[in-house]
Amino acid sequence: MRISVIANEINKQVENYLSLYPEEQERLAPLIHQLNENKTDIFSRKSLPGHITASAIIIKESNPDYMLMMLHQNLKKWLQPGGHVDPDERPVESAVRELKEETGMDGEVDAAVSLIPLDIDIHTIPANPKKGEGTHQHYDFRYIVKVNTEVILGNIENNKVAWVHIKDIDNNGLKILIEKLRQRKEVKIGE
């Protein structure tokens, strides 16, 4: 029952997101098509051509030119904390859970922010024969998450975690996200 409620919420979040960024309609076409087909469980890791993931975007409060990043163990890239959405979990809940698991930090999301992600990114994940996974897409719902400390603690996944200067972020999807943050009045990045 909750999955159908969450699926309806996802459709509403995509609709709200596109009302803010109508120019992204074409870019999000694969996600929209899969949501409209409704023939697959878009939350399942086995769902193809893609499935929903969620990420926590954390900007350092004391210096907003830094973003919390972690070194992804398989991809060997610095990425924002995030991952797969568990069954019966809203993407915003997943973003906060993944933050805790991957960085050891507690976070929270403003209720209004949880209704519209800051960004929805679609990126290709390479095949991983060890997991029996072929190449697929992640529909990554990215939310601004506030943390209660800037001190990086240990984490249960033993990840390397660091505050990374935004000029050192080498990821097109995150560069687009940073530009969206710059356009917001409440976040002053790179000024």
pLDDT tens track for 9-41: 888 999 999 999 999 999 999 999 999 886 568
Has residue 189 been placed in a domain?
A: no
Q: Is 124 among the domain residues?
A: yes
pTM listed for this prediction: 0.88
pLDDT for the residue 1: 39
Does 191 fall in a domain? no
Q: What is the pLDDT of residue 181?
A: 77
Confidence of residue 117 (pLDDT cuts 50, 70, 90): very high
Residue 71 lies in a domain: yes
Is residue 139 a contact partner of residue 42, using CB atoms and an 8 Å limit? Answer: yes
Q: Which domain holds residue 32?
A: 2-183
Q: What is the mean pLDDT of residues 128-156?
A: 86
CA distance 135 to 76: 17
Please report, for the domain that includes residue 151, its CATH number. 3.90.79.10
pLDDT, tens only, 158-186: 678 899 988 888 777 777 778 887 776 55
Looking at the structure of the chain, the number of domains it has is: 1
Q: Assess if residue 115 is contained within a domain.
A: yes
Closest CA to 87 of 43, 49, 131: 43
Residue 188: inside a domain? no
